A and B are shown apart, each in its own frame.
Chain A
Amino acid sequence: MSILSDPRWSQALGVLPDYLGNHVRVSLTALALGLAVSLPLAIVARDRRWLRGALLSLASIVQTVPGLALLALFYPFLLVLAAVTLRWFGVGFSAFGFLPAVLALALYSMLPVLRNTITGLNGIDPAILEAAQGVGMTRRQSLFTVELPLALPVMMAGIRTAAVWVIGTATLSTPIGQTSLGNYIFAGLQTQNWVFVLFGCVAAAVLALAVDQLLALIESGLKSRKSARTALGGVGIAALIAVTLVPQVARFSITPTSGTYIVGAKTFAEQYVLSALIAQRLKAQGLSASRREGLGSNVVFDALASNDIDVYVDYSGTLWVNQFHRSDMKPRKELLDDLKGILAKQNITLLGELGFENAYALVMPRKRAEALHIHSIADLAPHAPTLSIAGDYEFFSRPEWANLRKAYGLSFRMQRQMQPDFMYAAVASGEVDVIAGYTSDGLIAKYDLVVLDDPKHAIPPYDAILLLAPKRANDMALQAALKPLLGKIDIADMREANLRASGNNAESSPDAVARWLWEKVSGR
């Protein structure tokens, strides 16, 4: 099978109108907002030294915040703000997706626009400014008929830079719930779907280049004072907006979004498979469902609590430790009951467990473990000072790790952070000795690894549980559609599903794996 006949290309192409439309919508709104704020600010600040200095340093500081962090920071900020407006004015707003993405990206676009506008305006020959005054222009007339037209080429260069930055960074708005071309990249990275990763990167790059070139056309038209060129660039931008937005508008007007259930998923393969499975079950019952995938784990729970998504799968231990900051460890059943009570206070329904656990666990190659006679973490502890350990980006700052170290007296020679997908191959190849893996990961079987026992129960249970948004608490149709999933999926099924999802072919798409999983478990 040649690369181009891979069905995932057509799959990727199928969701392009949705992803691209959303991407263009969020980028251009952010850019427009950024311009609307930056241009007047730059004009006001250009001959006030302190204000200019303060603005430029503030914008520079914003620029040093990584895009992903900036986007993620806006979500909790807006949640608080929404709660405040709801209390004071009786109107709330959705802090999820579009709004935080637009605000963060607009902030991101400000530096080049501010800097170039100020540079452009301050770079005008003083003799020209004096002439404007001398022929009898007011300050306003001088600004609009002389200064801005003369500064425009420099300003356009800044706007171009801002546009490219915003379009590139908008791919990072996926984890806060804004669909974008980043959906390809996040999904592709997590499910080892390189076709998607490549497609997303190329699409974002082509979009950024196209917008940059159209703006370049406008810029050169302005510079050489050829209005035809400027107009051509303007028409190009307008056409791009029209082409990318029309399918969206059409779709919105056909399907009312209020009746659609939104299924959330975090940023790893298992979540993609489970959200696909949930959406398939809903559709099978005649309900309309759409998926919001690649959400940050800090975002997804708040999104459910504020009714921005309707249903998703979380893990009991994650909520216990991360969301409710509990450090006491309880047996599986007890913890679930407590959790159910805590969630009910927020009107969130814990519908039930899917049947498997996706817990953190220390994992090492079977042969190595046998050679060293290691069966449990207790056996590992005396060897640890000579071994290295790798974990995902959050593991070493999580309470589980502190608990593990305390309970077993673990002290490794070296610890490293890794992209979860690469950890298993790293431990299999001996690049690291032990990894903090996930019990449901299919790669454990594939690489012939073993999960070490935790006799002291230092790691809490991580039962996969279905959570429903407050507004769906009494939605019997939804609950009826989901109940057949409860208790059906055991650890072996999930591991195999995850292994399939990490494959690199058409059968490894989350939808295909979800169908396979349903066929496997539905008979039970």
Chain B
Amino acid sequence: MPFPPLIAYSHVGKSFGGARGSDRVVAVDDVSLEVAEGEFLAIVGGSGSGKTTLLRLANRLIDADRGTITIEGEDVRAADPVALRRRIGYVFQSGGLFPHMSVAANIGITPKLLGTPPDEIAARVDELLALVQLDRERHRDRLPQALSGGERQRVGVARALAASPRIVLMDEPFGALDPLTRDALGEDYRALHRRLGLTTVMITHDMTEALLLADRIAVMRAGRLLASGTPLGLSQSRNDYVAELLRTPRRQTERLNALLPRDTSA
């Protein structure tokens, strides 16, 4: 890596639960991981693998027990957590939109917290609506409950991008969407990532999605980082669990190829 990593985890550990050792659950166990500027990293793992905890440690929604995390070279423990969160975009699992605020108010919330003048926020909101391909007239003043799932997640992405962050963290952002919407949104985000030069860390339990969108994939299980690498690199891993994770998309592709006639129009 020619540049220093934008996000770096070094021997990070985090446990939850009671004060006594027996009640404690180790969520993240001695993880070291680096994310380079401009990289799209997917963290894949089952539920309870510690992937969500790892993501939240980065913007201090959770504080680590052990190890060091640096963002843009700065130790997060030394940063003010509120200021840190305002310069990192975060897309929540089911959108996490504020139900009492309009689409525009949801998108503009972080710039508002940063004290950006209202007219600048309004212009930025319009720009972002275009960026996530929502219609300004139709969506701007609606409440989240009046939107479809896909539209809500687009608003979630726009909100994460509002304060022009260099880093975007995404917690299973497309998990609850139907396959078509999910595919379209994934592709659209991938394009945005490239165009805006973002550094993205996305959590998913779906290896296929990870393979299709990310530059690099990190696999987690029971709090430990099992492997990380490009799709090609992962395919050479000797870890049984990693191999198992990669076998599923392969098998599905073969079966689909056998079931569906080739699309001749393309």
Contacts and interface: CB of A to CB of B under 8 A. Distances in A.
Interface of A: 127-128, 130-138, 141, 146, 149-150, 225
Given A128-B98, A128-B99, A135 B90 contact: yes
Contacts of A138: 82
Contact of B82 (A131, A136, A225): A136
B93 interface: yes
A127 B96 contact: yes
B100 A135 contact: no
A57 B93 CA distance: 38
B96 to A, nearest CB: 3
Among A134, A137, A149, A225, residue most surrounded by chain B Cβ atoms (within 10 Å): A134
A231 B143 CA distance: 20
Interface in B82-98: 82-83, 85-86, 90, 92-94, 96-98
- The size bracket of the interface on B is 20 to 34
A146 B93 CA distance: 19
Contact of A130 (B83, B86, B96, B110): B96
Given A134-B59, A135-B109, A141-B113, A150 B99 contact: yes
30 contacts: A127-B92, A127-B94, A127-B96, A128-B98, A128-B99, A130-B92, A130-B96, A131-B92, A131-B96, A131-B97, A131-B98, A132-B98, A133-B61, A133-B85, A134-B59, A134-B92, A134-B96, A135-B85, A135-B86, A135-B109, A135-B110, A136-B82, A136-B83, A136-B85, A136-B113, A137-B82, A141-B113, A146-B98, A150-B99, A225-B143
Contacts of A137: 82, 109, 113
A150 B143 CA distance: 14
Among A127, A131, A133, A149, residue most surrounded by chain B Cβ atoms (within 10 Å): A131
A133 B171 CA distance: 14
Given A127-B92, A127-B93, A141-B113, A134 B100 contact: no
A128 B96 contact: yes
Given A127-B92, A128-B99, A150-B99, A134 B61 contact: yes
Given A134-B61, A134-B96, A149-B100, 14 more contacts: A127-B93, A127-B94, A128-B99, A130-B61, A131-B97, A132-B98, A133-B61, A134-B90, A135-B85, A135-B113, A137-B82, A146-B100, A150-B99, A225-B143
Contact of A135 (B83, B94, B99, B159): B159
A134 B56 CA distance: 9
Give 9 nearest A-B pairs by CB, closest first. A131-B96, A136-B86, A136-B85, A134-B90, A149-B100, A135-B110, A135-B109, A136-B113, A131-B92
Interface of B: 59, 61, 82-83, 85-86, 90, 92-94, 96-100, 109-110, 113-114, 143, 159
Nearest to A139: B82
A131 B56 CA distance: 12
Contacts of A149: 100
Contacts of B61: 130, 133-134
A225 B145 CA distance: 12
Given A128-B98, A141-B113, A225-B143, A134 B93 contact: no
A48 B98 CA distance: 25
A403 to B, nearest CB: 67
Contacts of A131: 92, 96-98
Contacts of B99: 128, 150
Contacts of B159: 135
Contacts of B92: 127, 130-131, 134
A357 to B, nearest CB: 70
Contacts of B59: 134
B98 A136 contact: no
Contacts of A130: 61, 92, 96
Contact of B100 (A133, A136, A150): A150
A136 B110 contact: yes
Contacts of A127: 92-94, 96
A151 to B, nearest CB: 10
Nearest to A129: B96
Contacts of A128: 96, 98-99
Contacts of B94: 127
A45 B110 CA distance: 29
Nearest to B84: A136
Nearest to A152: B100
Contacts of A135: 85-86, 90, 109-110, 113, 159
B113 to A, nearest CB: 5
A132 B98 CA distance: 8
A133 B62 CA distance: 11
A136 B87 CA distance: 8
A130 B82 CA distance: 13
A134 B60 CA distance: 9
A132 B159 CA distance: 12
Nearest to B94: A127
A120 to B, nearest CB: 13
Nearest to A131: B96
Contacts of A150: 99-100
A228 B192 CA distance: 40
B84 to A, nearest CB: 8
A133 B98 CA distance: 12
Nearest to A136: B86
A75 B86 CA distance: 55
Contacts of B114: 136
Contacts of A141: 113
A130 B53 CA distance: 13
A149 B94 CA distance: 21
B14 to A, nearest CB: 16
A136 B60 CA distance: 11
A283 to B, nearest CB: 60
A69 B173 CA distance: 59
Nearest to B162: A135
